[in-house]
Amino acid sequence: MSATHNRRILDAAGATAVAEAAEQYARGHGHRVAIAVVDPWGHLLHLRRTEGAQIASDQVALDKARTAAIFVRPSREIEDQVTGGRLGALALHGAAALTGGIPIRVDGEVVGAIGTSGETPDEDEACSIAGTETAFSTVEVPALSYAVARKAAAAAGAVATARGVAPVVAIVDAGGEPVFLWRPVDAQVASVGVSMDKARTAAMFRRPSRDFEQQAAGGRPSALHLAGAVPLQGGMPISQDGHVIGAVGVSGASSADEDQELAEIATAAAAAADARHFPSDEVHRQFATGGLLLDNPAYKVDAGRRSGPGEVEFHEGVTDVVHVVEGRATVVTGGEMHDVREVAPGELRAASTDGGTAHEISPGDVLVVPSGVPHQFVDVSDPFLYLVAKVEA
C-alpha cells in the first residue's frame, strides 16, 4: 500500500511564465487587467496588475482563478449556468460565476489555473487563455492517497477505542482539503469542525498546530491573528521525502495532550504505510558515521558502524535482525548479565555476561536476536559495517 501517488503542479517559474504571457496579450490589445495564477487548490502563486487596471480586479481575478482550479473547468461554465436560469449555482462554495478563469492542464491533469479581470468577460477570458497556451514548467510532488489516509485515521482510532475515548480524526491533503474523517458514535459534534481546523492548520502552515498554541501561551498572542491558523495542539503534518503531503487533526479525546498523542500515532501509521528506497550513496554516507536510516515507531533501520567491542545490550520489546555488510565480528547472545543498568524503559545495558553462545559473523551473514535476549559484540574488526532492522515486538 503506497502512501502517495505523484501529481504535477505549477512551480514558481511556471506560474510566472503563465502570468507574463497573459500580460503580454493584454498589453498587446490595450487591456488594463489584473492577472492571478493559483495552484490546484486555488491558493495564490502569482499576482500582477497592468498599468491603469482597477484595484478591485485583483480579488476578482483571484476568485476566477480559484473557481477554475477547484471546479476543474472554465469559470465561464458557472456563469453560463446562472445566466441560463440555474440560480442555485450561485450557492456553490468557492465558486465565482464570472467569466475569465481557465484551468491550466498537463496531459489532462489540472496543475493550476489563471484568472483575469478588468475588461469585458470575453476579453478577460482571452487573456487567460493566452496564458495557458505558453510554455510553462511544473514540478512533480507526492500526494496522499485515500487508502493511507484511512489507515492513518484507523490507527489513531484503534488506540482511542482501546482507551475508551471517542475523538474525531480528520485527514486532509496538502492543500488542507478533507480526504478522510473517522467519527465514532460517541464523539462530540463540535470535534468534527475542530479536528478539521487542526488538520488544515498543520497542512497549510507545514508544521504542528501545537506550535501556534505554544507561541500564543508563551508571550506571542499575535499568533492568534495568523489567517487560517488554529492554535490548538492535535494537528500534525504528514510528510514524504521532504514534502508535506497532508495532515491529521484530532479533537475530543480526554485532553489536549491525548489529542496530540493520537495525531502523532496517525502520522506514524501514514509514514509506515509507504515503501522507502535508500539509494546506495545515501547508505554509504550513513555508514561513514553510523546511524539510523529510517526511524519509525514500529521499526527502525540502522546503518551500524563499529570499530571495537561494545557493552551488553538487552531490548525488552525489540527484535534485532543484523545483516553484515563489511568486516567481521563475534557476537555473544544469551547468558546472565552482570552490572545491569536501565538506560530507558525496556532497555538494559550490562558490563558483561556469563555463558551464552558465540557467533562468528562476516559479510553476507544474518543474525537474528529476538527481544529479551542479551547480546554483546566482543570482538570486532575496524570498521565493521552492518544493517540492523529493529522491529517492535
What pTM was estimated for this model as a whole? Answer: 0.71
| Domain housing 301 | 280-392
- Asked which of 272, 294, 324 is the last residue of a domain, the reply is 272
- Asked which of 118, 142, 166 is the last residue of a domain, the reply is 142
Q: What is the pLDDT of residue 243?
A: 87
CATH of the domain at 352: 2.60.120.10
Report residue 148: phi and psi, to 5°. -80, -30
Q: Do 96 and 136 belong together in one domain?
A: yes
Q: Do 44 and 128 belong together in one domain?
A: yes
Cell 482550479: give the residue.
69
pLDDT mean over 85-95: 95
Give the pairing type, strands 352-354 and 347-350: unpaired
CB 297 within 8 A of CB 268: yes
How far is the C-alpha of 168 from the C-alpha of 187, rounded, in Å?
6
Q: Would 20 be classed as within a structural domain?
A: yes
Q: Do 152 and 200 belong together in one domain?
A: yes
Q: Would 247 be classed as within a structural domain?
A: yes
Q: Do 138 and 194 belong together in one domain?
A: no
Between 16-20, 42-46, 351-355, the lowest mean confidence (pLDDT) is in 351-355
How far is the C-alpha of 247 from the C-alpha of 229, rounded, in Å?
14
DSSP letter assigned to residue 382: S
How far is the C-alpha of 176 from the C-alpha of 197, rounded, in Å?
9
Q: Where are the beta strands (DSSP E) in 121-205?
A: 138-144, 168-173, 178-182
Q: Would 2 be classed as within a structural domain?
A: no
* Span 231-240, pLDDT tens digits: 999 999 998 8
DSSP letter assigned to residue 205: H
- Asked which of 116, 142, 168 is the last residue of a domain, the reply is 142
| Mean pLDDT (the chain, rounded) | 94
Q: Do 238 and 299 belong together in one domain?
A: no
Does the pLDDT value for residue 2 go beyond 80?
no
User: Structurally, how many domains does the chain consist of?
Assistant: 3
Distance, CA of 213 to chain centre: 20
Q: What is the pLDDT of residue 274?
A: 65
Indicate the SS3 state at residue 326: strand
Report residue 105: phi and psi, to 5°. -120, 150
In which band, very low, low, confident or very high, does the pLDDT at 58 lie, cut at 50, 70 and 90?
very high
Q: Do 219 and 179 belong together in one domain?
A: yes
CATH of the domain at 260: 3.30.450.150
Q: Which residue type is seen at 298?
A: A
Q: Do 157 and 37 belong together in one domain?
A: no
pLDDT mean over 8-14: 97
In which band, very low, low, confident or very high, does the pLDDT at 209 lie, cut at 50, 70 and 90?
very high
DSSP letter assigned to residue 24: H
**Which residues on neighbouring strands pair with residue 309, listed in sequence order?**
none
Q: What is the pLDDT of residue 4?
A: 55
Nearest one of 206, 272, 273 to 245, comparing CA atoms? 206
Q: Would 3 be classed as within a structural domain?
A: no
Between 107-111, 187-191, 223-227, 333-337, the lowest mean confidence (pLDDT) is in 223-227
pLDDT mean over 92-119: 97
Indicate the SS3 state at residue 141: strand
DSSP letter assigned to residue 253: S
Q: Do 251 and 294 belong together in one domain?
A: no
